[in-house]
């Protein structure tokens, strides 16, 4: 499987040493099957970026595919909430977030690879709105489906 990683520097060999802990799926080496998306990730500042290309053989690896029918958007949201900071605005929102973590969180520690959505700023704001009771689950799902590139383009490898 061909994967791309966007960076400001050449990364010859993926390593967790320089990976940030508080990303969507925790500390991981995030990749996409699309070179254009890797370039977008790489060019977050004024400087030029590099799309590093890799081949990943999934044989023998444990893969969690959050886009399979086995999981819902709530599973993804619980993983996101477990790894990123959510500002909750009310006691009810705190209780809802706790419920989400207690009932929908998947243990991702046994997996070598995670395939799923990536929460850029707009998607993270949808997630925050849902947790804070500003939009319903149906509205969250509708907004997710409206942005089809999120389903088909970015997949992360942690």
Q: What pLDDT is stored for residue 49 in this prediction?
A: 86
Stated pTM of the model: 0.77
Q: Find, among 12, 4, 13, 8, the residue nearest to 38 by Cα.
A: 4
The residues that bridge with 6 in the sheet, in sequence order, are: 51
pLDDT at 126 over 70: yes
Condensed to tens digits (0 to 9), the pLDDT of residues 81-117 reads 898 888 888 999 999 999 999 999 999 999 998 888 7
Q: List C-alpha distances in Å: 119 to 11, 60, 83, 103.
A: 23, 28, 11, 21
Give the number of C-alpha atoms closer than 13 A to the C-alpha of residue 58, restricted to the C-beta side.
13
Taking the CA atoms of residue 133, residue 122, residue 71 and residue 100 in that order, the dihedral angle to the nearest 10 degrees is -30
- What average pLDDT score do residues 44-71 get? 86
Task: Report the DSSP beta bridge partners of residue 50.
Answer: 7
pLDDT in the model for residue 139:
92
Q: Hey, is 70 helix, strand or coil?
A: coil
Q: In the chain, where are the structural domains located?
A: 2-55, 63-152
């Amino acid at each position: 499987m061909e994967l791309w990683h966007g960076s400001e520097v050449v990364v010859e060999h993926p390593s967790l040493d320089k990976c940030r802990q508080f990303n969507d799926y925790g500390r991981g080496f995030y990749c996409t099957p699309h070179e254009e998306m890797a370039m977008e990730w790489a060019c977050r500042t004024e400087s030029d970026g590099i799309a590093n290309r890799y081949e990943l053989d999934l044989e023998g690896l444990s893969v969690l595919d959050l886009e399979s029918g086995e999981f819902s958007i709530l599973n993804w949201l619980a993983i996101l909430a477990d790894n990123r900071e959510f500002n909750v605005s009310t006691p009810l929102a705190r209780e809802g977030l706790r419920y989400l973590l207690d009932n929908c969180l998947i243990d991702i520690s046994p997996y070598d690879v995670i395939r799923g959505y990536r929460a850029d700023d707009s998607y993270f704001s949808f997630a925050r709105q849902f947790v804070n009771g500003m939009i319903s689950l149906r509205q969250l799902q509708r907004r997710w489906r409206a942005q089809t590139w999120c389903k088909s383009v970015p997949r992360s490898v942690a």
